[in-house]
Amino acid sequence: MKQWVKPAIPFGFVALACLIVLFGSYLVQETKWQEEHPKYEEQVLAAQIMEKSFAVLRDVRDEEGLPIDGGLDPNRTGLIGEEFTPITTSIGNLEAKRTSTSPAFAALLVRLFYEAGLEPGSTVAIGASGSFPGLILATLSACEAMDLRPLLFYSVGASMYGANVPEFTFVKMLQVLREREVLPYHILAVSLGGNQDRGEDMYFPESQDLMGEIATSTPAPLIFAPNNAESIKERLELYLNYNNQYLPDLFVNIGGASPNMGNTNASLQIPNGLVKTIRLTSDSPERGLMFEYLELGVPIIHLLNIRDLALKSGIAIDPIPFPEIGSEEVYYVTKHNLWLIWGTVLAALGVLVLGKFVIYQKENFLKKRKHSQ
């Protein structure tokens, strides 16, 4: 038969300590407040640059007879493409594409750059496919607002509703934004994208040639390696060349281009957002630039799962119209009353210590009573 083991602390004291913790937690939540992020001004500036870009892109599309489909792009950003075109590489989610065009993502990139420890003059290597032109624009807007130096490599192929209009890829977008003095940047290297980063096995027979024409329309060097592994090596070398043989301070992956993201199962486990270290390992020569840079001690920002990224960052999902700049949670940090937190902890510990003391006193009393009999 099992013996009853006396509790170290009376149940009533344990219950009271639990109630104190629950009530204290409630008070901590109820008394929390929000403050502007330390880089709030830069966040607002980045979002404004992105918003200004929309007006330019709208005008250019009108000028060149490329009307914006209000059903696909209700905020008229000029960044949403079509469902299928000859440079469409894969399926895509329209909600995610529209969400990624929010200027709040420019504010998020400022926040992530700050968390990564970047300072004016820091170098940001960017590997982007055409799938999320909104995120490329957000990243460049954040670089401009924070006085960073972006090294943009671009893959022409795009998933559905990305920059897949052949006459209006991000090559064209950045060109007009530069000409109209919104952003000063150039694409420094370009590839076809798609399968093997070479535009292979596309939906249309003319796709690879068309992607090649778009890629070679820019003076940037063309990356057309025989396979992903070689494409990764070539990119690493080019980034070094553009940065005076120094590693970049940060690498940003936008979309799912295989040289950047990798072509292994481990690549799918890299979390969204800022990643400074990771325990995942992969020895594959196709593991991608994200793995390569993490192994070299360079932090990365992974931008792909847009809904998840927006939810955890305080950005509205597919809003129509966009919220006012500076109003969303991404621009703020939540503060809690530390005195209340520590007070709750100490009060709960005090009750438990008191309970232990009561047990000790009771045991002493019983021992004395036993000896006196």
Residue 138 pLDDT: 98
CB contact at 8 A, 56 and 176: yes
Q: Report the 10 Å Cβ neighbour count for 318.
A: 18
What is the DSSP secondary-structure string of 349-368?
HHHHHHHHHHHHHHHHHHHH
Identify the three-state secondary structure at position 154. strand
Rg of the chain on CA atoms, in Å: 28
Name the nearest CA neighbour of 147 among 289, 226, 41: 41
Provide the residue ranges of all domains of the chain, joining segments of one domain with +: 11-32+336-372, 37-332
Nearest to 49 by CA among 126, 106, 124, 133: 106
Q: What is the pLDDT of residue 132?
A: 96
Q: What is the pTM of this model?
A: 0.86
Residue with tokens 């502007």: 36
Q: What is the pLDDT along the chain (373 residues), one digit of tens a residue?
A: 454 445 677 878 788 888 888 888 888 787 776 788 899 999 999 999 999 999 999 999 999 999 999 999 999 999 999 999 999 998 999 999 999 999 999 999 999 999 999 999 999 999 999 999 999 999 999 999 999 999 999 999 999 999 999 999 999 999 999 999 999 999 999 999 888 888 887 878 899 999 999 999 999 999 999 998 999 999 999 999 999 999 999 999 999 888 998 888 888 888 899 999 888 777 788 889 999 999 999 999 999 889 999 999 999 999 999 999 999 999 998 777 788 788 889 888 887 887 777 777 766 766 666 666 6
The pLDDT of residue 352:
81
Q: What is the pLDDT of residues 138-178, one digit of tens each?
A: 999 999 999 999 999 999 999 999 999 999 999 999 999 99
| Tokens (6 digits) for 109 | 């990139």
CA distances from 81 to 13, 73, 175, 236, 362 (A): 64, 8, 17, 30, 77
- Residue 80 is predicted with a pLDDT of 97
